[in-house]
Structure formats: structure tokens, C-alpha cells
Structure 1
Amino acid sequence: MAEHPASADAPAAVDATTPADATTPGSATTPGDATPSTTTRGSATPSTATPSAATPGDATPSATTPGESTTPDRATPHGAITFRPLTPADLPMLAGWLAEPHVRRWWNHETSPEAVQRDFGPTMRGEEPGEDLVVSVGGTPAGLLQRARWHDFPGYVEKIAPIVAIPAGAVTIDYLIGPPELTGRGLGPRILAAAVTGVWQHYPDATAIIVPVCAANRASWRALEKAGFRRVASGDLVPDNPVDPPLHHVHRIDREEPGCHP
């Protein structure tokens, strides 16, 4: 799950799951974007992988993470960011994304049809808590967003407890950007900004979004910070990819209370 502020010219996100809502859960995996996850990928559960970007509001920043180009041909993709529930028809596309090197590096997921059905099927069918959402930019599928309440997965709350306390109602997000041609273009922060907005809309009792990120995925936690998240703790968690060291940074963003600002 589960990297940033919004750009003034970025269109507001629309959540296809509810009328005019902007939302979704998840974390990014692109050269520079990553994804958080403390669970097997597929179920929308608290993540310790490395998220790509999330921010308050419905727009997202044009700022790029280190290594991202700002030349015209690599400009941040425009078009409304929308989300809809993952369906069985999407699984071949998702398997293709999971097999891309920039995604595989961080998600470390099996990509056979059987494995993808096994890991994503239960959430699609409503047998497990959480949500798996297809992210589209300007109507074109661009990635996956996951979101879930931490306390729907008490085992993960227990694992992270030595590092940070998870308040009641807290949500986590995770996401990936699938097509390689969309990576490294500042899209992660836009998706994360829309994801944050969506969490506040769909989880009215949620006061915070908390995302653990593999410390090795610098681009991911930098994206979160650009989106308005702040680092609140660091500690060891089991990484999604065993090649990575266990150190994770935990990032958090809180819902602003009405009347906080004049």
C-alpha cells in the first residue's frame, strides 16, 4: 500500500464506485514509485511493501521524484483519475502488470492465472475485507489501488505494534502503476492524492491513513511525503521481497478537522 501534494492543474479524481467520489486504496510500484504491504499481495490488507504516493485533497502535485523527467514527452499524464472495483475480466491485465520488472521488484507476486485468482479473488468476491480498485487516467487503465482498515487485519496490527500504535478506524493504502510507459512521470503523487481523498469520503470514521514503506524504496516514501504524509516511525518488518532489508519507514496523514484553517 498505500507518496504527495496536488498540482493546481490536475483534475479532481472521480471514484466510479460511488457518484462523484474520488478515492481508492493502494501503493505504487514503478521505477521510483513503490507500494506498502504487510501481507501477501492480492488481499487489500495493511502493507509493508512501499507505497507510491498519497496526498490530501483531490488534486496531486506535478513535482517529480528524484530521477523523474520533466521534459514534454515525459510530462505527468493528465486526465481524470477514476477508480472502479477489480473484476475477473481484469485479472489477465493485472497479471501482466505484476510481471513487469518495475512492479515485480517490489510486489514480488506470482503471476500465473491460478495465483492471481487465488490472491485477488477473495477480495473481489467480498469474502475478505478491503478493496482492490482499478485506477484509470483519462479512461485508460493505469494501475491498481488497494485500501483497507488496519483493524480488519489484527495480525498486521500486532506485527507493527512495536513500531507504531494504530488508532481505531485507521486505513492503509497500496498501489501500483502497471504500464511501464506511465512510470517516472509524476503520476504516483496524483494517484495518491486521489486515494487520500477517497479514504476520507468512503471511511467517514477514519482519522488517519498509515502506510509502512520499505526503506529501500526511497522514491516511494518520498512520494508519500510530497503528498502530505509525514514519517512517524521506523522499524523492522518482513519485506515483500526477501532481497530487501527489513527496515521500514511508517508514514501517516491525518484528516483535517473542520475549521482548522481560517
Structure 2
Amino acid sequence: MTFTWRRVTEADFPMIREWLSEPLVTRWWNHETTPEAVARDFGPSARGEEPNQDWLALLDAEPFGLIQRSVFADYPEYRDPLARITEVPPGAMSLDYFVAAHERRGQGLGVRMIQLMTTKTWADHPGATCVIVPVAAGNRRSWRALEKAGFHRVAEGDLEPDNPVDPPLHVVYRIDRPA
């Protein structure tokens, strides 16, 4: 099996809409799925108009997941609340991710996605000092994937949840650039 990456394009929006409608993805991403909402939220990245990067994870050329990568300094509205509960050093980056294809879950692909994007981050961003990922405390699958990918829990604290049904408690994971 061959694992590859491809940047999201506007042609991917119908597929992303489907993925965002999948119950487990909806539970944790809580994203609007209208064509307009997907275009509004993914379009600027797809067109290179904002620093956030959206990537499709492909297995044997078939997309199965999505990962977003960003530099915290580009998004102070996320960095500043996080900095109240843990250090967010210059160069810190973040990931957000999901395995969309339900038939692909439980095979370790989420862990592999996180590992490979972390390695890609070190290569693509020489100034990246670490990757920090806050996760809703109730999203055990997500934080277990981070642990299996080599991240370490560094903090817990209240952050605005992505889904308003969740309490604000988040667990925060970090991996530092290898020496």
C-alpha cells in the first residue's frame, strides 16, 4: 500500500461535504456542510489565499482522510487561548485531522497520517519547533492516535470546543522537532 498526500482543490469540495456529513466526523468537527459553507471554509486554503494548508491523505491514490496544518502564529485567535494553558513557542504548528472513510478506520491509518504529516512538517517548515494539538477531552480516539504517533500529553485546560455539545475541557499533545 502506498501512502501519499495531495493538497485540497475546489474539485474536492463535494467529497469533503460528504465526509463532513459522516456521523463520526460530524460529531467532532461539527462543520456546516452546505456547498457555500465548504467553499467559504476550504476555498481560501485551496486557492492559496490563507496560510492554513488542507491536505488529502491517499492510500493507493484513493482519498481516505483530511489533515489541516497551520502555524499558530498565523492564527492568534487559537494560539492565545491555548497559550493560557501551555507554552506555545515561536514556530509551533498544529494539525487537525480525520479519517473519513468508515471502512478505513481501526487500521492505524489515522496514526500513520499524523506521523507522516509530522515528518513532512519538519521537512516543509524548517522553522517549526514543535507540533501542538489540542483535542476535546472526550475524543479519546483522537488523543490515543496522537499518543501512538509519538506525541506526549503536556497540558489540560478549558478551550472553546468545536462542538457546542462538548464541555470545554481539552487535552493538549505535543511533539518536538527531532534534534
Name the TM-score, length of structure 1 as normaliser: 0.67
* 1:202-246 Cα deviation digits (max 9, x unpaired): 011111000001100111111111111000110000111111111
In the alignment, does 2:167 pair up with 1:245?
Answer: yes
- Which residue pairs with 2:28 in the alignment? 106
- CA offsets, 1:182-212, max 9 Å, x none? 1122211111111111110101111100000
* Corresponding residue number in structure 2 for 1:202: 124
1:126 to 43, 48, 67: 48
Which position in structure 2 is the counterpart of 1:89? 11
Please name the residue that 1:48 is paired with: none
Equivalent residue of 1:206, what SS?
A: coil
Shift of 1:148: 0.6
CA distance in 2, matches of 1:226, 1:180: 20
Residues 1:229 and 2:164 are matched in the alignment? no
Larger RCO (alpha carbons 8 Å, 6+ apart): 1
Name stretches of at least 5 consecutive residues in structure 2 with no aligned partner.
none
Which runs of structure 2 are paired with 1:5-154 in the superposition (5 Å)?
79-154=1-76
Q: Secondary structure at the match of 2:84?
A: coil
Of Structure 1 and Structure 2, the greater helix share is in: 2
Instruction: Return 5+ residue gaps in structure 1 as ranges.
Output: 1-78, 258-262
Percentage of matched positions with identical amino acids: 55
2:79 counterpart residue number: 157
User: In structure 2, the residue corresponding to 1:91 is in which secondary structure?
Assistant: helix
Q: Which letter maps to 1:192?
A: I
Q: TM-score, normalised by structure 2?
A: 0.97
Which structure has more strand as a fraction of its residues?
Answer: 2
Deviation at 1:83, TM superposition (A): 0.8
- 4+ runs of 1 displaced by more than 3 Å? none
